[in-house]
Each structure stands twice: as C-alpha cells, then as structure tokens.
C-alpha cells in the first residue's frame, strides 16, 4: 500500500467499544434492522483489513475497517455538533469516496442521507436542497459551483485529501473533540426500523420536477443483504466503484460490501483506462454498472482477457445479447438485476441449468429477462387495475402488472405517494410480461412503446435485435410519426470504432443493410423505417438514454 497516515483523530482509542446503545421500549428479542450495524461488525471482526482505497488521486488514502469506523463515528458527532437531529436531511454533492463515508456516518447520526447527482444543473440542485429541507450540505470542492449563491445552511467542504488542513478533516476533528470519547456507546439506533435512511431524487429525462423517494432502514438492511448474497460478496472480494452512488444509493452496495467484509475501491474520475488498470492489476472481483457503461468497458482499447473472472452486476436497462457475449468473452460474468432508481436492485435473472445447452445468442435472450424477486424483497408482480380510473384503491389484478418491493415511500408528495402505492402495491411505471415460470420481462417504459399499424412494438425488443449487428456499438429506437402506420421505429445507431470508416459516406447503404438484418429477426411492424448513424446518444446524468430528447429530434423530421 502507498505511504499514507490517517489523521490522528481517525485512530480509535485503545479498547474502543463498538456497540451503539439499544433503543429503549422495544421487546428484548427485537433489534431494529439498520445497515449501520455492518461497519461496526466489520471493525470488530476484521479491524485491520483494508476497508477502502481511494488511489487514483493527488492525495491517495486507504483505511482499515477499524480506522474507517472511527472516522464514521467522528462524522456522526460532527453532524450532531452542527445541530443535526434525528430525521434531519444531510445533503451531499461529491464523488463516490466522500459519499461512501456519508452512507454510514449520516445514519450514525440518525439523519437521512440526501444524495444529489453531481451532473445536475444548479437550478435542479437548488430545487432539491429546498424541497428536501436539508439542514447541512456536504460538498466536494469541485462542485461548489452547484450550490445556490444564497445558501443558508452550513456547508462542509472536502478537498478529498484525507490530510490535515482539509476542511472535512477539521470537521471530523471537531466531531471527535465534541464526543468527549463517549464513542459508539454515546450514539443510539433509532427505535423505528422503518425510519427513513436515504432520500434520492429521480430526474430521468422527464419534464417534471425531481421527485424525492425515501428508503427505510429496514428496507436498506434487507436489500443490502440480498445484494451481498446474490453477488456472493465475501471477505476475499474487492469491489470497484464504477457506479455513481447518487444512482439509487449505489444500489445498496455501500452497505452490502461492508456486510460481506469486501474491500472497496473508489475513483474520483471514472474512465475506462483506469477501470481496466484496476481490472488487470488490483484483483477486482465485483463491480456494478448500467449497460451503457458496460458497453464502454468492453469496447475500450485497453480491454484484455482477465487473469481471473470478475462479476458484473448490471441494472438500469436489460443487457443485450451482444453485450452479454462481449462481457463473457473478456472473462466478465454478468448478473442481471432489476430495480428502480428509488431502491436499487430487487429482482434477479436466475440462470437455469438448461440454458447451458443454448447458444450464447439464445442464452443471452433468457438472461435479458428481469427475473424473480430477491428473497429479501416482496414478490414482484405484473398487474393491471380493472377500473379505468388510475387512482382508485381497487384491488390489482395480476396480469399485466407493475413491480413492487419493500421499503419505499414518496417524500413530501402525498398525491404521488398515493398514486404510486395505489391498490397496495408500488407502481414502477415499467411495462412487463410475466413468463409461465414467473420470470418478469420488462417490455418497455409505457411511454417508449411504439404503436405501429395498431400493433404495440417494444422499443427494447427492437434494440435487443439491432444491437446484435456486428458493426453496432449502441442503439436506441423511438417512435416517429408515420402517415400510414401512425408510428414507425426510428433507430439511432453508434457504430463500433472499427466500423466507422467502413461506412464512411455510405450511411444509406448501412441503413439498407440494417433494415434487411432486422427483417429476418423482427415482425414487419417492428422493423426500423429509418436508420440514423450518430456519434453519441443523449443520456441522463445516471447514464440512461434520454429518449425524450430523441423523440424531440424525430418530431422535427
């Protein structure tokens, strides 16, 4: 490990206890579920194991579980000293390393972690800070420009150095001094395990205002264990943080990795050459990422066959057969999970032994299904409401249905909450089918369906087929008005780098070829009527393709 000494206040006192006070008034056989338990346990069992490494920066740091745990305690006391009360919101705008600390430290102060996407506009950040009612803001020095000019709450700047002189280290020092060495026993678990844990805002490309969604401590605890179990994260695992944590609270992996005693590696700037450096040289075993990031990884010039297999957890959209094949060819084993921006993964595509006999192409199609719920989640259902009114409380009928899971309510939006939970289930907004074996397949977001000649064409299904063309790196399909058929698919295509010169000046020939390619694979109403080669696709700050923007483009054609 590179030379680095943590600040003196990061060193726990001799014989430091690692237990919080149990809340009073509960039955003796109940301990409220809380993902904060994991870091205390890791610090107790494996104090000297490397918990996290932040290597690719000017001032690299690494912390053992014992030292990291003390820093988390310091953060909790510092927040309390700053006036944070149980249930208060603590906003954070920072790269993954700072956010990883906050995932544990904010819970230790019994506060709610409000994760803010660093790719938002200042006006959106201002809206979220106001709507969340955040009482303090943790911010990385590079994101100060996102703060409103008249910010009225305390701001704690981190320069991401981990060294004396960094304002964040000062903040921690003050917290340690304030605690008067009461340690963990001076803190307490909230008695209510359904108390809020994390507040995320969904923005994903819609024109509406950001919506705040809250997870509970119990839901986060169960989901984190579910993710650790499904990903087989254990003591010997090393997890590389590619996924930004503001994306659905890092899919619960900030806690899941600690539950499993894994070592976590964070990057300040996520780029493909650095990812491949870690894949090849630092014994990475796990990472998470949306398909668009996975596509970038497998197509990077630095990509090489791996010395040992790495498990990739994929969510955000279904991986194409093409992507699955490309990952496997490089020694990356994909696990396809599904969830919502609000919670992270709660279903998984469970591989069947019979798939071993299938071709990669056929097997990949099976792997593209969203699958079944985790054991720690409620059953996912595909439902419809029998009445025409969309907000009655009538029972839901089980085909087709919306997904539901534990541990979430909408924040400060009673009307949206009522609608989301209508009929007693949480409405994901995804359209899906359920196979005979109970496996769920997301067909599309309702607004992404293409109604072509009276038929419902799934833009996802069309993309799946087109993506298998050998010259295509990424593809997105939207509905475009058609005088005869009502709507017809319009495909936006990014070519692989080695195919760009091949089709240079002959995009019309490529278009003819791709349409012919589609014709043998798709029903007529689902074949693209238009093919457009582009250099890049508009994406949300969490890496999802902005189909609203693509629809605006075709509306003008």
Which span (30-38, 117-125, 276-284, 323-331) binds a second copy, by CB under 8 A? 30-38
Residue 369: CB minimum distance to a second copy, A: 12
Q: Which is nearer to a second copy, 130 or 393 (CB)?
A: 393
Residue 406: CB minimum distance to a second copy, A: 6
Using rule CB under 8 A, residue 229 touches a second copy = yes
Q: Considering only CA atoms, which of 316, 321, 306 is closest in space to residue 361?
A: 321
Residue 494: CB minimum distance to a second copy, A: 35
Which span (205-213, 327-335, 430-438, 538-546) binds a second copy, by CB under 8 A? 430-438
Residue 248: CB minimum distance to a second copy, A: 16
Using rule CB under 8 A, residue 365 touches a second copy = no
As beta bridge partners, residue 202 has 211
Using rule CB under 8 A, residue 408 touches a second copy = yes
Using rule CB under 8 A, residue 345 touches a second copy = no
Taking CB under 8 A as the criterion, the residue among 21, 85, 121, 232 binding a second copy is 232
- 483-488 contacts, C-beta under 8 A, 24 or more apart: 484/453, 485/452, 485/453, 485/525, 486/451, 486/452, 486/453, 486/454, 487/450, 487/451, 487/452, 488/450, 488/452, 488/528, 488/529, 488/530
Taking CB under 8 A as the criterion, the residue among 425, 464, 476, 541 binding a second copy is 425
Using rule CB under 8 A, residue 407 touches a second copy = yes
Which span (301-309, 317-325, 417-425, 539-547) binds a second copy, by CB under 8 A? 417-425
Using rule CB under 8 A, residue 183 touches a second copy = no
Q: Tokens 């237990």 appear where?
A: 19
C-alpha angle 16/18/24, rounded to 5°?
125
Q: Answer for the pair 272, 247: CB distance below 8 angstroms, yes or no.
A: no
Q: Which is nearer to a second copy, 36 or 473 (CB)?
A: 36
Q: Tokens 């030292």 appear where?
A: 67
Residue 311: CB minimum distance to a second copy, A: 13
Cα–Cα dist 217/249, whole Å: 13
Site string for a second copy, 187-226 (x = CB under 8 A): -------x---------------------x-xx-----x-
Residue 119: Cβ within 10 Å count: 15
Q: Answer for the pair 296, 302: CB distance below 8 angstroms, yes or no.
A: no
Q: Considering only CA atoms, which of 475, 478, 476 is closest in space to residue 452?
A: 478
Site string for a second copy, 372-391 (x = CB under 8 A): xx-xx-xx-x----------
Cα–Cα dist 134/93, whole Å: 12
Size of the site for a second copy (CB under 8 A): 53
Which span (31-39, 129-137, 241-249, 479-487) binds a second copy, by CB under 8 A? 31-39
Residue 396: Cβ within 10 Å count: 18
Helix (H) or strand (E) holding 240: strand 238-240
Using rule CB under 8 A, residue 37 touches a second copy = yes
Which span (53-61, 228-236, 271-279, 445-453) binds a second copy, by CB under 8 A? 228-236
Tokens linked to 459: 């833009």
Using rule CB under 8 A, residue 429 touches a second copy = no
Per-residue CA distances from 18 to 44, 176, 179 (Å) = 7, 15, 15
Residues contacting 71, CB < 8 A, separation 6+: 6, 10, 63, 101, 105, 172
Q: Which is nearer to a second copy, 47 or 60 (CB)?
A: 47
Residue 100: CB minimum distance to a second copy, A: 19
Cα–Cα dist 417/214, whole Å: 11
Which span (288-296, 384-392, 402-410, 469-477) binds a second copy, by CB under 8 A? 402-410
Taking CB under 8 A as the criterion, the residue among 5, 21, 31, 386 binding a second copy is 31
Tokens linked to 179: 């605690």
Cα–Cα dist 343/338, whole Å: 10
Using rule CB under 8 A, residue 22 touches a second copy = yes
Binding site for a second copy (CB under 8 A): 15, 17-19, 22, 27-31, 37-38, 41, 44-47, 49, 194, 216, 218-219, 225, 228-229, 232, 234-235, 259, 350, 352-353, 371-373, 375-376, 378-379, 381, 398, 406-409, 421, 424-426, 436-439
């Amino acid at each position: 490990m590179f030379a680095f000494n943590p600040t003196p206040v990061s060193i726990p006192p001799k014989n430091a206890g690692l237990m919080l006070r149990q809340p009073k008034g509960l039955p003796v056989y109940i301990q409220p579920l809380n993902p904060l338990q994991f870091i205390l346990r890791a610090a107790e069992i494996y104090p000297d194991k490397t918990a996290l490494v932040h290597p690719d920066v000017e001032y690299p740091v690494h912390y053992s579980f014992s030292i990291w745990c003390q820093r988390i305690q310091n953060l909790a006391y510092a927040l309390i000293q700053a006036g944070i009360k149980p249930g208060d919101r603590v906003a954070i705008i920072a790269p993954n390393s700072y956010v990883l600390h906050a995932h544990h430290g904010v819970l230790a102060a019994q506060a709610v972690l409000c994760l803010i996407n660093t790719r938002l506009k200042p006006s959106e950040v201002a809206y979220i800070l106001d709507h969340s009612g955040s009482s303090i803001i943790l911010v990385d020095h590079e994101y100060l420009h996102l703060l409103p000019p008249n910010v009225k709450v305390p701001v704690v700047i981190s320069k991401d150095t981990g060294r004396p002189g960094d304002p964040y280290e000062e903040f921690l020092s003050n917290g340690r001094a304030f605690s008067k060495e009461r340690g963990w026993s001076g803190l307490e678990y909230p008695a209510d395990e359904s108390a809020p844990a994390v507040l995320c805002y969904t923005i994903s490309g819609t024109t509406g205002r950001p919506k705040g969604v809250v997870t509970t401590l119990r839901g986060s605890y169960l989901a984190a264990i579910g993710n650790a179990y499904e990903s087989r994260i254990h003591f010997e695992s090393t997890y590389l943080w590619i996924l930004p944590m503001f994306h659905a609270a890092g899919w619960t992996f900030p806690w899941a990795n600690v539950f499993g005693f894994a070592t976590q590696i964070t990057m300040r700037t996520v780029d493909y050459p650095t990812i491949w450096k870690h894949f090849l040289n630092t014994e990475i075993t796990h990472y998470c990422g949306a398909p668009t990031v996975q596509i970038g990884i497998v197509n990077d010039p630095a990509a090489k066959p791996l010395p040992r297999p790495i498990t990739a957890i994929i969510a955000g959209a279904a991986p194409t057969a093409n992507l699955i094949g490309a990952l496997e060819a490089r020694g990356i084993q994909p696990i396809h999970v599904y969830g919502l921006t609000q919670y992270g993964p709660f279903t998984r595509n469970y591989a069947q032994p019979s798939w071993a006999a299938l071709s990669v192409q056929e097997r990949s199609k099976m792997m593209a299904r969203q699958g079944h719920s985790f054991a720690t989640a409620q059953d996912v259902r595909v439902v419809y409401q029998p009445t025409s009114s969309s907000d009655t409380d009538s029972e839901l009928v089980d085909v087709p249905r919306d997904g539901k899971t534990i541990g979430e309510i909408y924040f400060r939006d009673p009307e949206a909450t009522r609608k989301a939970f209508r009929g007693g289930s949480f409405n994901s907004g995804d359209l899906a089918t359920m196979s005979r074996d109970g496996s769920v397949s997301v067909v599309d977001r309702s607004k992404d369906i293409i109604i072509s000649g009276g038929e419902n064409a799934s833009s996802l299904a069309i993309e799946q087929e087109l993506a298998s063309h050998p010259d295509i790196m990424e593809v997105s399909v939207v509905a475009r008005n058609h005088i005869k058929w009502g709507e017809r698919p319009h495909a936006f295509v990014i070519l692989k780098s080695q195919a760009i010169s091949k089709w240079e000046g002959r995009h019309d020939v490529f278009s003819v070829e791709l349409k012919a390619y589609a014709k043998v694979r798709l029903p007529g109403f689902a074949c693209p009527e238009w093919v457009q080669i582009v250099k890049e696709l508009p994406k949300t700050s969490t890496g999802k393709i902005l189909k609203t923007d693509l629809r605006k483009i075709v509306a003008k054609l």
